[in-house]
Amino acid sequence: MNIRPATALDAAPICAIYNPYVANTAISFEEAPVSEEDMARRIADVGAAGLPWLVLEADGRIAGYAYATKWRVRPAYRTSVESSIYLDPAFAGRGLGRQLYGALLDELRRRELHMVIGGIALPNENSVALHEKLGFRKVAHFSEVGMKFGRWMDVGYWELKLGS
């Protein structure tokens, strides 16, 4: 297993992981597949914002990725980020998600960020469990804020303070 920064060359395997979540689940609220070009642009934008985008390699391929984006654009929010993590379902149940997310959190601490916020489309027991194992605590629940597949979706927010 290897965790490293993502590059534009990772866009295709990242799309291969992400687009089935878009097409088949309400985990992502996107409704159309993301192109490789758009994904490469997203990776570049995260890097340009001074934030990490990591990929986890296992069994010779990318098994998952995690990244952080700005929580809000106003300057006072500059030390708060929102995190995202996606794992290829073929690699689920092996503890890789926890290792990848842990690496992202370590990187955010190195960058002296203060707060990480994880938004989770509900229900999603696996994501809730992962966040809570890593020390996140639930701080908000918004009901019926998204609609996907013809049904209303709730979103919960979990936070983790990284430092003082």
**Which of 68, 82, 61 has its CA nearest to residue 16?**
61
pLDDT more than 90, % of the chain: 96
Q: How many CB atoms lie within 10 A of CB 123?
A: 12
In order of 31, 66, 113, 121, 163, the CA distances from 39 in angstroms are 15, 13, 24, 21, 31
Q: Widest CA span of the chain, in angstroms? A: 43
Domains and CATH numbers, the chain: 2-161 (3.40.630.30)
- At 65-105, the pLDDT tens digits run 999 999 999 999 999 999 999 999 999 999 999 999 999 99
> What pLDDT, on a 0 to 100 scale, did the predictor assign at position 163?
81
Answer yes or no: are the C-beta atoms of 36 and 11 closer than 8 Å. yes
Q: Are 67 and 44 in contact (CB under 8 A)?
A: no
The whole-angstrom separation of Cα 29 and Cα 110 is 30
Two structure tokens written together for 66: 């995690």
Q: Which two tokens stand for residue 159?
A: 């936070």
Q: What percent of the chain has pLDDT over 70?
A: 99
pTM beyond 0.85: the answer is: yes
Is residue 8 pLDDT above 90, yes or no?
A: yes
Structure tokens at 108: 């955010």
C-beta separation of 15 from 33 below 8 A: yes
